[in-house]
């Protein structure tokens, strides 16, 4: 591989995904540069979550390659991909409802703790283990330290949403896929999240974010890929995404394209 | 200690070990309705080695655990490919096959049962139950225990987080098999006699039910379930005779009845099961309950409330 | 000749399994619920028929009933019991979180009911097997050397008539369409205006009816009832249902007959003690090799309980 290629941490090459006769993703290619903060946006049903599922290995692509630092990973089973540095959150929160906050985070560390010794070492039997201290520190950073012992099922939505991000981070990923991290958060919480993700990005983690809140996307992400009906319709700077006629058409329908410009942000 | 209480202690200990044997797979999200089969496996291994080769209990008990563990591991691979209803049926069928094979093996005494020469008194099961309890508490505190509970809650995400869900489930199932083998061996040596009728489908059902009633989120659940279920009939012994006579009269029965005391225990277990599933399906002892009972938690709650209002 | 006679006996025995297996497959197929009270309902019907002909209604409310009345009353009782089960098991199926074992709530509840009904019967009537008085029309038909008992023939006919009728109802009536819609997708069915709260009890009534008929037919056929009679029949019906394919009515018919014939053949060649191994071994192999069964669809019962 040439040095030029591996400047991109993650690449999709002509990826197509069909279920039966239904093509959900068709011939999508894009690159995520190392350290980038990239948004993956598009109207409902555009296939954004499917792309995440393909990258994290929950689905196999019907055609095309998914490359991590230039190497195809589509043959690697889903459970091993997090060990390669790909962690994700989920659109509808998928925390373990009967585990406590801290346990969910410690579960996120699994990718770095699969050995027999790690599996059989108590996490908190007599005093707290190093794993637990690390998880507590992560929770501290997200200002969630008042919750460690609480069972997740009883917590408010916004808190659970944040915990999911922390759980993904616990795997020490190189690239973090966030599926609507700000959904259900209020304005202050969204601002908090944005600055947290910026700090995170400064430490070198690449972010790929699916998000409907265009405010967050504009403040956080420099680059954006727009999908519509499973096809890529835009790949470039976030700043200029609203000037693209295809994007406007996708969001507002053909009649409004070009007439209502500012509205795109709200609808998105 | 009187014979009455040592008898109860023995049964209690064996029930607790059995409860943990079923708890381990259930904690990973696999309903096991074949507990009695694995217990029979252990009981007959111990009984056979003791009767045929005169081995003492310190050899037969580990052997029974090994047989229970290895057979469940061998069966776990095809078995855990099935899910939901199919898994319940498969474990159930497996127990029936084990019972059927034992019944038809002359070396194991067939329907006659086997006498077990090496007798152990109540101390051994009691100590074993304490050790097993400690072991399961330890196991649930490890990362392995964490992944077991995660696999129970959401196997898809658990896999995406890097856990071999299959591996965890096979391991939990096999450990459960070994514990059931232990329970069986202890049964054989303390009762000095094994008989396949004692390990029937109903036993599998009872064990599963008291584990579920106790709760499967923590290691406290099975302990509580087994203790409650074992000690309940002792409490009932006092109130039952009058009630029994009354009901029998209502159904026109008179004269000597076949002893229904056992039955009352099961009716109550059944009623509790139905009520529990309706109102508290997670079982009596849940994580939230334990969290609530911990000291210092109330103040924490207040902190959060203040944070929110501030 | 003896072998053919054994196959024939297997079919006769199988007809009892068929009726119970259809009850199982109906609840699994439509509600995705393995109802463990079915064997107990079967037993309840048999025991009730016996008790009513011998003692009359409990608490001294009547004299011993003539047997047609007793049989009818037994079936009605079974249907009522089945509806009570519905009230306390399936209504609570809605779970708070989508996790693996909580889907088992109705299943576990039904295990609870199994214990309650079976042990109440034990307390009321003791654990011993009871003789049911033979019916007057219990004659043996000789068909060119093959012996058939009249009650057995009637059981077989009743089983086939019920199953065909049930199949017709499911295919062609409004209720049947509703039930099939629920089986396909409960949420979508509700949106399309199928009232599952009213249709679900229908399944339980049918379950009660099937078990009730199977119970009294068994009692008349074999002349003996006991509180344990459900366990054996129930397990073989489950085996038959799985082999035929979960959720498939004709699969349950086929599976029930296969189990009946297997049982008779095993007894013929290996003796009565090996029946358990043969039947359950067959089931285990079926689960590992072809979990969808002979006539079933793969999807049913896979994800949830």
The tokens for A265 are 């942000």
User: Which of chain B's residues have a Cβ under 8 Å away from the Cβ of A107?
Assistant: 146-147, 150, 158, 161, 163
Task: Pick the residue from chain C with its C-alpha nearest to B81.
Answer: C288
**Model confidence band, residue C134 (pLDDT cutoffs 50, 70, 90):** low
User: Which of chain B's residues have a Cβ under 8 Å away from the Cβ of C124?
Assistant: 247-248, 250-251, 253
- Asked if B288 and C123 touch (Cβ cutoff 8 Å), the reply is no
pLDDT of C38: 92
Task: Inform me whether the pLDDT recorded for C32 exceeds 70.
Answer: yes
How far is residue C270 CA from its own chain's centroid?
Answer: 27
Alpha carbons A120 and A116: distance in angstroms, whole number: 6
Our CA-based measurement puts residue B151 at a distance from the nearest CA of chain A, in whole angstroms, of: 9
Instruction: Say whether B271 and C112 touch across the interface (CB within 8 A).
Output: yes
Please enumerate in sequence order all residues whose Cβ is within 8 A of that of A178, keeping only pairs 6 or more positions apart, or say none.
A88, A89, A165, A168, A197, A207, A208, A209, A210, A211
Q: Which of A34-43, C94-103, C284-293 has the lowest mean pLDDT?
A: C94-103
Task: Inform me whether the pLDDT recorded for B256 exceeds 50.
Answer: no
Alpha carbons B235 and B239: distance in angstroms, whole number: 8
Alpha carbons B192 and B43: distance in angstroms, whole number: 10
Element (H, E) at A39: strand A37-41
Instruction: Say whether A98 and C96 touch across the interface (CB within 8 A).
Output: no
C137: exposed, middle or buried (Cβ count in 10 Å: 0-12, 13-18, 19+): exposed
Alpha carbons A192 and A185: distance in angstroms, whole number: 10
**Model confidence band, residue B240 (pLDDT cutoffs 50, 70, 90):** low
The tokens for A150 are 């609480």
Our CA-based measurement puts residue B211 at a distance from the nearest CA of chain A, in whole angstroms, of: 17
| DSSP 8-state class, residue A225 | E
**CATH code given to domain B3-235+257-309:** 1.10.3470
Task: Inform me whether the pLDDT recorded for B181 exceeds 90.
Answer: yes
Sheet holding A63-68, edge to edge: A22-33, A8-19, A63-68, A71-72
Mean local confidence (pLDDT), A139-152: 79
Element (H, E) at C220: helix C196-222
pLDDT of B304: 44
Please enumerate in sequence order all residues whose Cβ is within 8 A of that of C205, keeping only pairs 6 or more positions apart, or say none.
C79, C82, C83
A245: exposed, middle or buried (Cβ count in 10 Å: 0-12, 13-18, 19+): exposed
How far is residue C282 CA from its own chain's centroid?
Answer: 19
Task: Pick the residue from chain A with its C-alpha nearest to B144.
Answer: A119
Which residue is it, tokens 């259900």?
A184
pLDDT of C297: 61
Which residue is it, tokens 């192999």?
C285
What torsion do the CA atoms of A205, A208, A214, A219 make, to the nearest 10 degrees? Answer: 20
Summarised one tens digit per residue, pLDDT across range A4-39 is 446 889 999 999 998 877 888 989 999 999 999 999
Highest mean pLDDT among A256-260, B65-69, C211-215: B65-69
Instruction: Say whether A98 and C97 touch across the interface (CB within 8 A).
Output: yes
Residue A191 vs residue B306, higher pLDDT: A191
SS3 for B76? helix
The tokens for A55 are 């990258």
Our CA-based measurement puts residue C291 at a distance from the nearest CA of chain A, in whole angstroms, of: 23
- Asked if C293 and C248 touch (Cβ cutoff 8 Å), the reply is yes
Residue C257 vs residue B292, higher pLDDT: C257
Alpha carbons B247 and C124: distance in angstroms, whole number: 7
SS3 for A208? strand
Q: Chain A: list its partners (3+ Cβ pairs within 8 Å).
A: B, C
**Model confidence band, residue B220 (pLDDT cutoffs 50, 70, 90):** very high
Summarised one tens digit per residue, pLDDT across range B5-45 is 888 899 999 999 999 999 999 999 888 888 999 999 999 99
Please enumerate in sequence order all residues whose Cβ is within 8 A of that of B180, keeping only pairs 6 or more positions apart, or say none.
B18, B21, B22, B35, B38, B39, B41, B42, B68, B72
Question: Residue B186: which of B126, B113, B226, B107 has the closest Cα?
Answer: B126
Task: Inform me whether the pLDDT recorded for B198 exceeds 90.
Answer: no
**Where in chain C are the domains?**
2-127+149-289
The tokens for B299 are 């103040």
The tokens for B111 are 């329907």
**Model confidence band, residue C103 (pLDDT cutoffs 50, 70, 90):** low
**Where in chain B are the domains?**
3-235+257-309
pLDDT of A265: 42
Element (H, E) at C141: strand C140-143
User: Which of chain A's residues have a Cβ under 8 Å away from the Cβ of B172?
Assistant: none
- Asked if C152 and C222 touch (Cβ cutoff 8 Å), the reply is no
**Model confidence band, residue B148 (pLDDT cutoffs 50, 70, 90):** very high
Our CA-based measurement puts residue A180 at a distance from the nearest CA of chain B, in whole angstroms, of: 17
% of residues, chain B, pLDDT over 70: 85
Q: Which fold has domain A5-85+173-267?
A: Rossmann fold (3.40.50)
SS3 for B294? coil
pLDDT of C137: 64
**C positions 75-114 inside 8 Å of B (CB):** 88-89, 92, 95, 97-109, 111-114
C228 at interface of B, judged by CB pairs closer than 8 A:
no
Task: Inform me whether the pLDDT recorded for A238 exceeds 90.
Answer: no
Q: Which candidate from B141, B150, B163 shows the least CB-CB separation from A124? A: B141
CA angle C292, C296, C297 (to 5 degrees): 75
B77 at interface of A, judged by CB pairs closer than 8 A:
no
Q: Which candidate from A110, A147, A149 shows the least CB-CB separation from B147? A: A110
- Asked if C109 and B274 touch (Cβ cutoff 8 Å), the reply is yes
Alpha carbons A110 and A89: distance in angstroms, whole number: 15
pLDDT of B305: 41
Task: Inform me whether the pLDDT recorded for C94 exceeds 70.
Answer: no
B252 at interface of A, judged by CB pairs closer than 8 A:
no
Secondary structure string (H, E, C) spanning B6-34:
HHHHHHHHHHHHHHHHHHHHHHCCCCCCC
Instruction: Say whether A154 and B282 touch across the interface (CB within 8 A).
Output: no
B157 at interface of A, judged by CB pairs closer than 8 A:
yes
Question: Residue B117: which of B58, B181, B48 has the closest Cα?
Answer: B48
B150 at interface of A, judged by CB pairs closer than 8 A:
yes
**Model confidence band, residue C6 (pLDDT cutoffs 50, 70, 90):** confident
Alpha carbons A268 and B7: distance in angstroms, whole number: 71
pTM: 0.84
String of DSSP letters for A65-97: EEEETTEE-TTS-HHHHGGGTEEE--SS----T
**Model confidence band, residue B248 (pLDDT cutoffs 50, 70, 90):** low
Find the radius of gyration of the CA atoms of chain B. Answer: 21
Average pLDDT, chain B: 83
pLDDT of B60: 92
- Asked if A105 and A139 touch (Cβ cutoff 8 Å), the reply is yes
Summarised one tens digit per residue, pLDDT across range C44-53 is 999 888 888 8
Instruction: Say whether C305 and B100 touch across the interface (CB within 8 A).
Output: no
Instruction: Say whether B263 and C238 touch across the interface (CB within 8 A).
Output: no
User: Which of chain C's residues have a Cβ under 8 Å away from the Cβ of B26?
Assistant: 101
C284 at interface of B, judged by CB pairs closer than 8 A:
yes
Element (H, E) at C29: helix C2-31
pLDDT of C91: 63
Mean local confidence (pLDDT), A55-72: 90
Pairing of strands A63-68, A8-19: antiparallel
Instruction: Say whether B143 and A118 touch across the interface (CB within 8 A).
Output: yes
Alpha carbons C278 and B101: distance in angstroms, whole number: 10
Beta bridge partners of A63: A16
- Chain C interface, best mutation among B22, B71, B97, B210, by max C CB count within 10 A: B97
Q: Could you give the C-alpha distances from C169 to A247, C24, C80, C86, in angstroms and in order?
A: 53, 17, 21, 21
Residue A206 vs residue B229, higher pLDDT: A206
Please enumerate in sequence order all residues whose Cβ is within 8 A of that of B285, keeping only pairs 6 or more positions apart, or say none.
B214, B215, B217, B218, B220, B221, B224
Please enumerate in sequence order all residues whose Cβ is within 8 A of that of B66, keeping only pairs 6 or more positions apart, or say none.
B178, B181
Alpha carbons A52 and A32: distance in angstroms, whole number: 13
Instruction: Say whether A122 and B150 touch across the interface (CB within 8 A).
Output: no
User: Which of chain C's residues have a Cβ under 8 Å away from the Cβ of A98?
Assistant: 97, 99
Alpha helices in A142-234 (DSSP H): 157-170, 187-202, 214-220
Instruction: Say whether A98 and B149 touch across the interface (CB within 8 A).
Output: yes
User: Which of chain C's residues have a Cβ under 8 Å away from the Cβ of B29?
Assistant: 99-101
Task: Inform me whether the pLDDT recorded for C87 exceeds 90.
Answer: no
The tokens for B288 are 């939230």
| DSSP 8-state class, residue A29 | E
What torsion do the CA atoms of C31, C33, C36, C40 make, to the nearest 10 degrees? Answer: 0
Please enumerate in sequence order all residues whose Cβ is within 8 A of that of C187, keeping only pairs 6 or more positions apart, or say none.
none
- Asked if B263 and B256 touch (Cβ cutoff 8 Å), the reply is no
Summarised one tens digit per residue, pLDDT across range A94-119 is 888 888 888 899 999 988 886 888 88
Q: Which of A254-268, B146-160, C55-69 has the lowest mean pLDDT?
A: A254-268
- Asked if C10 and C248 touch (Cβ cutoff 8 Å), the reply is no
Task: Inform me whether the pLDDT recorded for A67 exceeds 70.
Answer: yes
What is the ipTM metric for this complex? 0.84
Instruction: Say whether B160 and A82 touch across the interface (CB within 8 A).
Output: yes
The yes/no answer on whether domain C2-127+149-289 falls in CATH 3.20.20 is: no
Alpha carbons A124 and A132: distance in angstroms, whole number: 7
CA angle B247, C131, C44 (to 5 degrees): 50
The tokens for A195 are 């600055």
Q: Which of A145-149, B182-186, B226-230 has the lowest mean pLDDT?
A: A145-149
Q: Which of A34-43, A76-85, A155-164, C251-260 has the lowest mean pLDDT?
A: A155-164
Instruction: Say whether A123 and B300 touch across the interface (CB within 8 A).
Output: no
């Amino acid at each position: 591989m040439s040095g030029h290629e591996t400047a991109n941490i993650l690449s999709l090459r002509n990826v197509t995904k069909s279920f039966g006769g239904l093509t959900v993703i068709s011939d999508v290619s894009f690159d995520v540069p190392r350290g980038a903060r990239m948004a993956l946006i598009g109207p409902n049903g555009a296939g954004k979550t499917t792309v995440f599922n393909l990258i994290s290995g929950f689905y196999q692509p019907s055609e095309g390659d998914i490359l991590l630092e230039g190497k195809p990973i589509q043959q690697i089973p889903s459970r091993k991909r997090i060990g390669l540095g790909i962690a994700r959150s989920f659109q509808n929160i998928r925390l373990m409802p009967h585990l406590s906050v801290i346990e969910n985070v410690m579960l996120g560390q699994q990718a770095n703790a699969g050995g027999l010794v790690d599996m059989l070492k108590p996490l908190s039997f007599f005093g707290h283990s190093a794993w637990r201290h690390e998880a507590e520190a992560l929770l501290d950073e997200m200002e969630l330290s008042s919750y460690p012992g609480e069972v997740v099922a009883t917590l408010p939505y916004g808190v659970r949403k944040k915990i999911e991000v922390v759980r993904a981070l616990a795997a020490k990923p190189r690239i973090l896929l966030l599926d609507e991290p700000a959904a259900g958060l209020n304005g202050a919480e969204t601002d908090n999240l944005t600055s947290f993700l910026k700090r995170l990005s400064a430490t070198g983690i690449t972010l790929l974010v699916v998000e409907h809140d265009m405010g967050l996307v504009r403040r956080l992400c420099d680059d954006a890929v727009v999908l519509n009906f499973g096809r890529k319709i835009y790949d470039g700077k976030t700043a200029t995404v609203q000037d693209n006629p295809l994007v406007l058409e996708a969001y507002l329908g053909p009649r409004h394209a070009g007439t209502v410009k500012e509205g795109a942000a709200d609808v998105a | 200690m009187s014979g009455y209480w040592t008898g109860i202690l023995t049964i209690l200990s064996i029930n607790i070990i059995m409860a943990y044997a079923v708890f381990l797979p259930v904690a990973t999200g696999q309903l096991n309705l074949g507990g009695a089969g694995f217990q029979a496996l252990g009981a007959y291994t111990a009984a056979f080695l003791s009767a045929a080769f005169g081995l003492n209990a310190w050899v037969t008990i580990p052997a029974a655990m090994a047989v229970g563990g290895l057979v469940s591991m061998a069966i776990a691979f095809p078995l855990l490919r099935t899910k939901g209803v199919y898994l319940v049926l498969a474990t159930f069928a497996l127990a029936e096959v084990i019972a059927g094979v034992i019944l038809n093996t002359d070396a194991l005494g067939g329907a006659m049962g086997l006498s077990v020469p090496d007798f152990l008194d109540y101390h051994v099961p009691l100590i074993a139950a304490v050790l097993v309890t400690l072991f399961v508490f330890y196991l649930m505190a490890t990362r392995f225990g964490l992944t077991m509970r995660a696999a129970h809650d959401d196997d898809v995400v658990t896999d995406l987080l890097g856990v071999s869900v299959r591996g965890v489930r096979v391991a939990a199932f096999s450990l459960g098999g070994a514990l059931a083998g232990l329970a069986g061996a202890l049964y054989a040596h303390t009762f000095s006699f094994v008989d396949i009728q004692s390990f029937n489908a109903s036993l599998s059902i009872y064990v599963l039910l008291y584990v579920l009633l106790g709760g499967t989120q923590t290691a406290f659940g099975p302990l509580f379930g087994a203790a409650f279920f074992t000690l309940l009939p002792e409490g009932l012994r006092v109130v039952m005779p009058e009630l029994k006579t009354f009901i029998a009269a209502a159904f026109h029965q008179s004269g000597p009845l076949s002893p229904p005391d056992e039955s009352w225990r099961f009716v109550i277990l059944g009623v509790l099961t139905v009520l529990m599933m309706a109102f508290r399906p997670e079982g009596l002892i849940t994580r939230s309950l334990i969290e609530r009972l911990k000291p210092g938690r109330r103040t924490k709650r207040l902190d959060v409330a203040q944070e929110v209002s501030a | 000749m003896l072998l053919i006679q054994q196959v024939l006996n297997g079919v006769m025995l199988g007809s009892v399994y068929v009726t119970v297996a259809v009850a199982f497959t109906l609840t699994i197929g439509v509600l995705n619920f393995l109802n463990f009270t079915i064997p107990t309902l079967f037993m309840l019907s048999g025991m009730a028929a016996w008790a009513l002909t011998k003692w009359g209604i409990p608490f001294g409310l009547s004299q011993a009933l003539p047997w047609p009345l007793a049989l009818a009353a037994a079936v009605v009782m079974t249907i009522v019991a089945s509806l009570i089960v519905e009230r306390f098991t399936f209504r609570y199926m809605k779970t708070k979180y989508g996790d693996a074992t909580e889907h088992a709530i109705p299943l576990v509840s039904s295990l609870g009911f199994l214990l309650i009904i079976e042990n109440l019967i034990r307390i009321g009537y003791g654990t011993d097997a009871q003789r049911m008085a033979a019916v007057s029309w219990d004659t043996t038909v000789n068909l060119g050397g093959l012996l058939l008992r009249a009650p057995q023939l009637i059981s077989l006919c009743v089983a086939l008539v019920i199953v065909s009728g049930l199949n017709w109802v499911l295919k062609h009536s409004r209720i049947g369409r509703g039930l099939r819609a629920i089986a396909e997708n409960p949420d979508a069915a509700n949106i399309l205006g199928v009232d599952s709260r009213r249709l679900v009890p229908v399944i339980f009534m049918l379950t009660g009816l099937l078990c009730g008929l199977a119970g009294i037919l068994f009692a008349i056929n074999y002349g003996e009832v006991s509180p344990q009679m459900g366990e054996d029949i129930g397990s073989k019906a489950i085996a038959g249902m799985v082999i035929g394919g979960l959720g498939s009515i004709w699969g349950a018919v086929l599976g029930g007959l296969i189990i009946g014939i297997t049982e008779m053949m095993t007894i013929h060649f290996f003796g009565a003690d090996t029946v358990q191994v043969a039947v359950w071994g067959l089931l285990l192999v079926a689960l590992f090799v072809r979990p969808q069964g002979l006539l079933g669809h793969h999807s049913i019962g896979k994800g949830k309980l």
